[in-house]
Chain A
Amino acid sequence: MSDPVIELRDVTRRFGALTVLDGVSMSLLRGETTVIVGPSGTGKSTLIKLLVGLLKPDAGTVLVDGQDVGKLGRAELMRLRRKFGMLFQDGALFHGMTVAQNVAFPLRHHLALKREEEERRVEVALQQVGLPGLGRRRPDELSGGQRKRVGLARALVMEPMIVLFDEPTSGLDPVTSAAIDELIVDTRKRLGLTFVVITHDVQSCVHIADRVGMLWEGRLRAWGPLAEVTASTDPVVRQFFDRRSDGPIKVV
């Protein structure tokens, strides 16, 4: 249970003159929750997009389950992406559809299931995120936290190998954030999947992480098991985890 599912080797990505990631290497292990933290604008979302091939690296390689994501053709990439489920910041649900239709959406496209089987899997996914019986609602009738849960249900319904979370707790109140953290820990334990979570919520990170990477100025400033990183004496890491405004990280 501890071979790497995702490997980054010297990954560099620029936007114009701006080098967002500058030679980042890391191995994410199967069945672990890896949390990537870092101040705003350090390339966390860029990193996650590189994993699923929404962006290509300018240099270096991204390996997912042994495949070089940057070198795949479009069709192969589309196939590789079925190994992923991803929860987007605001859920990225389709507003013209009900909750159940949203969750069923990837199933409809990829598997020709019988109606009852499809309904069953949708209901199971909604149960897993604590929203049983809400299938008939529309996304605009839900709270922000509920929308994220539906987004997670949609990410889980295809039974992915890896689940990516882009800021699962941003914009939520502390209680709902804690509930989402709970849900992440719980789901990971129950399903044994590999989770990659991006956040700048320190509390959330401490709660859910097995392994932590901190990005700063395009590099991986800290990398290791949670306890190791939180005990680090590096002033950059300390400033972030102690939530101080004075220190090497400049607030712009």
Chain B
Amino acid sequence: MDALASVGAFSRFCVRGVRVLPRMDRRETLDVAASMAFGTLLVTLAVTAFAGAMLTVQGFASLKAFGTPELLGMFISLAGVREVFPLIAAGCIGAKLGSALAAEVATLRTGQQLDALEVMGIEPLEHLLMPRMTAATLVTPLLAGLGVLCGLGASGVIATLQLGVDPGAFWARALDSIHPRDIAAGLTKALAFGALTGSLGCWHGYTAGSGPWAVGRAANLTVVQLMVVGALVNLLLSHLFYGGLL
């Protein structure tokens, strides 16, 4: 019952946010987007690079056992580019960007800056929250895309330089297995996850209580709910794009 009520309140919050979109502070949005992108890029690249290397080593070992190591490029595209790299990138974005966002907004709540904005007649939704939600939505596809490229690149480096797979064959197989539909699906998922990160982070920050634990709790709730809801949305979108529904 309580959970249902908070889902309702969260939805109303999002609808209110979309309504003020025309009046949103654009400059703040760009500023925030830049700092979100720079703040999250390094973690995302580092973790996807390691994931790419890991997947390559694992894939190579299994495929060699079947006697088909030349399929490595295809394997990386199907497993890595479609699911693993985006998932890893999403994890980094949720953990870094989502928690930082929730903590930032929650600090403004506990420090009464949000109340102060309201009393000054400045709508926090227009000048603080919507810019952050929008920035997160726009920045996530960019970060996820770069993460996927980085994972793929790292995979290529390990496959060709360390494992001795023929570069021409690896890249041909890899690129052959990426279809426009994968790109459309990836972009849709990234936009959805970005919007979810921005809105959950802002919501938990905005509704943070007062007291010393409020900020940590907001960040924690954001990351946990992002993982669960994010995985669910990912599954639904995968069904939509690959399950024959589309």
User: Residues of A at under 8 Å CB distance from B?
Assistant: 49, 52, 54, 74, 78-79, 81-82, 84, 86, 88-90, 92-94, 105-106, 109-110, 154, 158, 164
Min Cβ gap A122→B in Å is 15
Contact assessment for A78 and B123 in the assembled complex, using a CB-CB cutoff below 8 Å:
yes
- CB <8 Å contact, A79 and B121: yes
- Give B206 Cβ to nearest chain A Cβ, in Å: 13
Residues of the B chain whose Cβ atoms lie less than 8 Å from the Cβ of A93: 113
Q: Find out whether the CB atom of A106 lies under 8 angstroms from the CB atom of B115.
A: no
B119 touches A105 (CB 8 A): no
Task: Select B121's contact among A82, A88, A92, A164, beta carbons within 8 Å.
Answer: A82
Residues of A within 8 A of B120 (CB): 81, 105-106, 109, 154, 158
Within 8 A of A (CB), among B91-132: 111-113, 115-116, 118-123, 127
CA distance A81 to B120 in the complex (A): 6
**Residue from A78, A94, A158 in contact with B113 in the complex, judged by beta carbons closer than 8 Å:** A94
Give the residue of B113, B122, B123, B127 whose beta carbon is less than 8 angstroms from that of A92: B113
What is the total number of residues of chain B having a CB less than 8 Å from a CB of chain A?
12
Interface contact A78-B116, CB-CB below 8 Å? no
CB neighbours (8 Å) of B111 from chain A are 90, 92
A84 and B112 contact, CB distance less than 8 A: no
* Chain A residues within 8 Å of B121, by CB: 78-79, 81-82, 106, 109-110
Which B residues are in CB contact (< 8 Å) with A109?
120-122, 127
B115-174 at interface with A (beta carbon < 8 Å): 115-116, 118-123, 127
Q: In the bound complex, what is the Cα–Cα distance between A158 and B127 (angstroms)?
A: 19
B115 touches A54 (CB 8 A): yes
Most buried by A among B113, B115, B119, B120: B119
Which residues from B are CB-within-8-Å of A52?
A: 118-119
Q: Which of B116, B122, B127 contacts A86 (CB 8 A)?
A: B116
Q: Is the CB of B112 within 8 A of A89?
A: yes
Report which residue of B116, B120, B127 has the largest number of chain A beta carbons within 10 angstroms of its beta carbon. Answer: B120
Q: Which partner residue on chain B sits nearest A53 by CB separation?
A: B118
With a cutoff of 8 Å between Cβ atoms, the chain A residues found around residue B112 in the complex are 88-90, 92
- Give the complex CA separation of A78 and B127 in angstroms: 14
Residues of A within 8 A of B116 (CB): 86, 88, 92
Q: Which residues of B contact A92 (CB under 8 A)?
A: 111-113, 115-116
Determine which of B118, B123, B127 lies in contact with A54 in the assembled complex, contact meaning CB atoms within 8 Å.
B118
CB-CB under 8 A from B119, the residues of chain A are 52, 54, 81, 84, 86, 164
Q: Which 8 A-B pairs have the closest CB atoms?
A: A92-B116, A92-B112, A81-B121, A88-B112, A78-B121, A86-B119, A106-B120, A82-B121
Contacts of A105 in B (CB 8 A): 120
CB atoms of A81 and B113 under 8 A apart:
no
Chain B residues lying within 8 Å of A82, measured Cβ to Cβ, are 121
Q: Cα distance A93–B116 when bound, in Å?
A: 8
